Amino acid sequence: MVGHMDLAPLLAETSALVREAADVAVSERARLAVEKKPDGSLVTNADRATEEWLRPRLTALVPGSGVWGEEFGRDAQDGPTWLVDPVDGTSNFAFGSPLWGVSVGLVHGEDLLLGVVALPDLGELYAAAKGCGVARNGVPLDPILPGEVLPHELVSYSESIWHAYPGQRIPGKMRCSGAIVVDGTFVACGRFRGMIGMRERLYDFGPVVLMGQELGAEFRHADGRPISMAALLRGEPFQDAWILFPRESGFFLPRRVR
C-alpha cells in the first residue's frame, strides 16, 4: 500500500514525469489552439495533450491508483488518486505569460502524500513528499516562519475575495498571478507570505498545500474551521475562503452566510 511505501523513490519518478509533461505542454504551445469551456474558462490543446500523456504513466507508478484530472475527470476507484492539473494558469499560458505550471499530486485516504509542480518558463521544479520537506530544483527550502503577516509582505488573493468578504481587512499587499500553483510555490519559497483561495477543487491546489504544510504553514478555512479532506475527495469545491498562511498569523475571516 502507498501508506507504507518509501515515498522518496516515488517522488523522484513523479518528478521526472512532470518534467517530461512540461516539455509536452511547451511543444504543444507551438501549435496553440484555444477553446472556451461551458463555464467560460479557457482550455487548450496543451491542457488535453499533457493530461493524456500523464494519466497512464502515473497509474503505472502505483498499481491500483487512479487519476482525477481537470480535463478528463476522475477514475472510478477507491485507491490512491493522482491529482492532475496539466496546465494551471491556462489563460496565462495562452497569452504568453510565464506564470503557469504543470501540477501533480498523490492523495490516499486523508493524506496528501506527494506533490510536484513544474514552472517551465521560470525554470523551476518544486517537489514535496509527506514528512520529507520541499525542494526547489533539488535544493531544500527553509521553513515558513510563524507569526503575523506584515503590511509590506505579499499575499495572494483575487478580487473575488474582496467581493465575497466586503469590508474585511486582509493583511499584506495583494498579489494574484492567475495560477494557483505559481502562487502556492511562491508561498513555499518565501516570495509570498500566504495565499487565500475559494471555489477551487482538490486537484487545483493539493500539491502546493502539501508543500506549505511540509514547511510549517497552516491550511484551514479562513474562519478557523479545519478542512475536511473527505469532502474535498468527494469533489466538492470550497464555498468559503481557505488560507495557506503562516502559523500564528492571527488572520481570520467571518463565516459566510449564504
Q: What is the CATH number of the domain that holds 97?
A: 3.30.540.10
Q: Is the pLDDT of residue 257 over 70?
A: no
Residues 102 and 220 in one domain: no
Residues 136 and 160 in one domain: no
Distances (CA, A) of 95 to 42, 89, 153, 155, 258: 11, 10, 28, 24, 35
Q: Is the pLDDT of residue 1 over 60?
A: no
pLDDT at res. 177: 96
What proportion of the chain, given as a percentage, has pLDDT over 70? Answer: 97
Contacts of 60 (CB under 8 A, 6+ apart): none
Contacts of 79 (CB under 8 A, 6+ apart): 64, 65, 66, 108
Q: Would you say residue 253 lies in a domain?
A: no
Residues 20 and 95 in one domain: yes
DSSP code of 119?
Answer: E
Whether this prediction's pTM lies above 0.85 is answered by yes
What proportion of the chain, given as a percentage, has pLDDT over 90? Answer: 84
Q: Is the pLDDT of residue 4 over 60?
A: no
| pLDDT mean across residues, the chain | 94
Q: Would you say residue 148 lies in a domain?
A: no
Q: Would you say residue 193 lies in a domain?
A: yes
Distances (CA, A) of 82 to 10, 144, 176: 12, 26, 26
Domain residues for 26? Answer: 2-140
pLDDT at res. 230: 82
Select from 92, 118, 140 the last residue of a domain.
140
Residues 122 and 168 in one domain: no
Distances (CA, A) of 185 to 20, 52, 169, 192, 226: 19, 24, 24, 9, 22
Total domains in the chain come to 2
Select from 140, 163, 184 the last residue of a domain.
140
Residues 133 and 35 in one domain: yes
Select from 140, 168, 196 the last residue of a domain.
140
Tens of pLDDT, residue by residue over 177-216, are 999 999 999 999 999 999 999 989 999 999 999 999 999 9
Residues 92 and 182 in one domain: no
Tens of pLDDT, residue by residue over 48-99, are 999 999 999 999 999 999 999 999 999 877 789 999 999 999 999 999 999 9
Q: Would you say residue 257 lies in a domain?
A: no
If pLDDT is split at 50, 70 and 90, which confidence band does 2 have? Answer: low
If pLDDT is split at 50, 70 and 90, which confidence band does 5 have? Answer: low
Gap between the Cα atoms of 105 and 207, Å rounded: 5
Gap between the Cα atoms of 245 and 145, Å rounded: 10
Q: Is the pLDDT of residue 40 over 90?
A: no
Asked if residue 63 lies in contact with residue 91, where contact means CB atoms within 8 angstroms, the answer is no
If pLDDT is split at 50, 70 and 90, which confidence band does 233 have? Answer: confident
CATH number of the domain where residue 207 is located? 3.40.190.80
Q: Would you say residue 145 lies in a domain?
A: no
Residues 241 and 129 in one domain: no
Gap between the Cα atoms of 202 and 245, Å rounded: 18
Q: Would you say residue 220 lies in a domain?
A: yes
Q: Is the pLDDT of residue 137 over 50?
A: yes
Q: Would you say residue 258 lies in a domain?
A: no
